[in-house]
Structure 1
Amino acid sequence: MSSLDTVLAAGRRAAEARMRETVRLYSQAADSFDRASGQTVPGAKADLYTGKARVKAIAASTGQETEAGEREIVLREYEVQLPWATTLPSGTRVLAGMRIEVTASPDPRMVGLILWVTGASFSDQSTVWRIRTEDRS
């Protein structure tokens, strides 16, 4: 093991120690409309990862106001950090539009937060797997 590998391993352990939230990464099929009930039926969800993470607001993000449907929403950016060695089911990649739900956190206000994936970065010299997301509430 090279000195770089030793330093990266220590950094990855330290980064994992800061992961205090539990999240669920999932994809969701398109919603459908049930004519009989007149209701929109949410698409099926496929869980890709459930486990520890660190969820942090991006400091430079002030929130962008935009319109969705007939209501105003504010987009706030978050970075979700997963353990570097996290693997997904074979053939699956993190794609924009997937979602991350915070299922547990020391900050109870974060529980239930749904974040929409906007991108992910990969690097063999990272200490965590960083996924860019936005809160569309």
Structure 2
Amino acid sequence: MNLDTVLAAGRAAAKARMRDTVRLYSQGPDVFDRTSGNTVPGPQTTLYEGMGRVKSVAQASGEDTQAAEREVRLLEYEVSLPWDAPLAQGSRVLPGMRLKVTASPDARMVGIVLWVTSSQFGDQATAWRVMTEDRS
């Protein structure tokens, strides 16, 4: 069996485990609306929308940190996307981008927004892995 055959089988198996639907996007800076006196979230640019697999990182215990005068726990998740997942033309995945779970067999995951911390890819990978954290 040659390497390409093994990789194709591994990528097919990885896709079969992707039961969540996710949207990877960048978020523009918030804008202050002088008329209403409210801050309006900036525009979103979708880089990818489709199948994925969201799983918590087992060895991560989470990190306590301060945010807006309250303590939050940062929990890590690995999100697997298809190895050949298409991105919007000319875009790259950068830390600070966000990934939202839009559908999942686990209803508790739907609606969660995760913040990208890094991504891993390579020509011999079976999936494209994006490391994220839940900042809620």
The alignment's TM-score, normalised by the length of structure 2, stands at: 0.97
Q: Which residue of 2 aligns with 1:75?
A: 74
Is 1:95 the counterpart of 2:100? The answer is no
Secondary structure in 2 matching 1:5:
helix
Residue by residue over 1:91-124, the C-alpha shift from the partner in whole angstroms, topping out at 9 and shown as x without a partner, is 1000001000000000000000000000001210
Letter in 2 for 1:101: K
Letter in 1 for 2:11: R
Runs of 4+ with >6 A deviation: none
User: Aligned equivalents of 1:122 and 1:82: distance in 2?
Assistant: 10
Aligned-CA RMSD value = 0.9
Residue by residue over 1:23-79, the C-alpha shift from the partner in whole angstroms, topping out at 9 and shown as x without a partner, is 000001000112221211000001111100000000011111101122211100000
Gaps of 5+ in 2: none
User: Aligned equivalents of 2:11 and 2:57: distance in 1?
Assistant: 21
**Is the Cα–Cα contact under 8 Å of residues 60 and 75 in structure 2 kept in the other structure?**
yes
Name the % identity.
Answer: 63
Q: Which residue of 2 aligns with 1:135?
A: 134
User: Aligned equivalents of 2:29 and 2:69: distance in 1?
Assistant: 20
**Is the Cα–Cα contact under 8 Å of residues 52 and 81 in structure 2 kept in the other structure?**
yes
Gaps of 5+ in 1: none
Secondary structure in 2 matching 1:12:
helix
User: Aligned equivalents of 2:71 and 2:41: distance in 1?
Assistant: 22
- Higher mean alpha-carbon deviation, 14-23 vs 68-77, is at 68-77
User: Aligned equivalents of 2:51 and 2:119: distance in 1?
Assistant: 17
Q: Which residue of 2 aligns with 1:7?
A: 6
**Is the Cα–Cα contact under 8 Å of residues 23 and 100 in structure 2 kept in the other structure?**
yes
